[in-house]
Amino acid sequence: MRCRWGRWVLVLLLFILSFTWAQPALALTEPERLVVEVWHIVNRAYVDPTFNGHNWQKVRQAALHPPPETMEQAQAVIQEMLSRLDDPFTRVLPQSQYRNLQTTTAGELTGVGLQIVLDTERRVPLVVAPIAGSPAAQAGVQSQDRILAIDGESTLGMGMDTAASRMRGLPGTQVVLTLERGERRWPVTITRQRVTLPSLTWDLRPGGVGYIQLSQFSAGSAAEMAKAIQALEAQGVRGYVLDLRNNPGGLFQAGLEIAQEWLDQGTVVYTVNRDGLETDFTAGGKALTDKPLVVLVNHGTASASEILAGALQDHRRATLVGETTFGKGLIQSVFKLSNGDGLAVSVARYETPLHHDIHRRGIVPDQMVSSQSEATANDPQYEAAVAWLAKNFVPTVAAGG
Tens of pLDDT, residue by residue over 77-90, are 999 999 999 998 99
Residue of 303, 305, 371, 373 marked active site: 303
Taking the mean position of all CA atoms in its chain, how far away is CA 377?
A: 31
| Sequence-distant (≥ 6) Cβ neighbours of residue 241 within 8 angstroms | 209, 210, 211, 212, 293, 294, 295, 296, 375, 382, 385, 386, 389
pLDDT tens profile 87-139: 989 999 888 777 666 555 555 567 898 878 888 788 999 998 887 778 999 99
Q: What is the DSSP letter of 123?
A: T
On the CB side of 134, CA atoms within 13 Å amount to 27
Residue of 314, 346, 371, 373 marked active site: 314
Which fold is adopted by the domain 197-392? 2-enoyl-CoA Hydratase; Chain A, domain 1 (3.90.226)
pLDDT tens profile 228-280: 999 999 999 999 999 999 898 888 899 999 999 999 999 999 999 999 999 99
Catalytic annotation on 145?
no
Instruction: Please compute the mean of the pLDDT values over residues 311-322 and round it to a whole number.
Output: 97
Residue 69 pLDDT exceeds 60: yes
Handedness of CA 84, 87, 281, 99 (dihedral sign): positive
Catalytic annotation on 218?
no
Q: What percent of the chain has pLDDT over 70?
A: 86
- CATH no., domain 108-195: 2.30.42.10
Residue 364 pLDDT exceeds 90: yes
Residue of 145, 328, 373, 379 marked active site: 328
Is the pTM above the cut of 0.85? Answer: no
The more confident residue out of 246 and 317 is: 317
Instruction: Please compute the mean of the pLDDT values over residues 321-336 and round it to a whole number.
Output: 93
How do the domains of the chain map onto residue ranges?
A: 28-86, 108-195, 197-392
The bridge status of strand 153-154 relative to strand 319-322 is unpaired
The bridge status of strand 266-272 relative to strand 342-351 is antiparallel
Catalytic annotation on 336?
no
Rounded Cα gap, residues 146 and 24, in angstroms? 51
Selected from 3.30.750.44, 3.40.50.740, 3.50.50.60, 3.30.70.100, the CATH number assigned to the domain covering 28-86 reads 3.30.750.44
Helix axes 56-63, 30-45, angle to 10 degrees: 170
Q: What is the DSSP letter of 101?
A: H
On the CB side of 170, CA atoms within 13 Å amount to 2
The bridge status of strand 108-111 relative to strand 124-130 is unpaired
What integer best gives the mean pLDDT of the chain? Answer: 86
Is residue 324 within 8 A of residue 362, CB to CB? The reply is yes
Q: What percent of the chain has pLDDT over 90?
A: 65
In this predicted structure, what is the pLDDT of residue 374?
46
Listed range (108-117, 198-207, 270-279, 359-368) with the worst mean pLDDT: 108-117
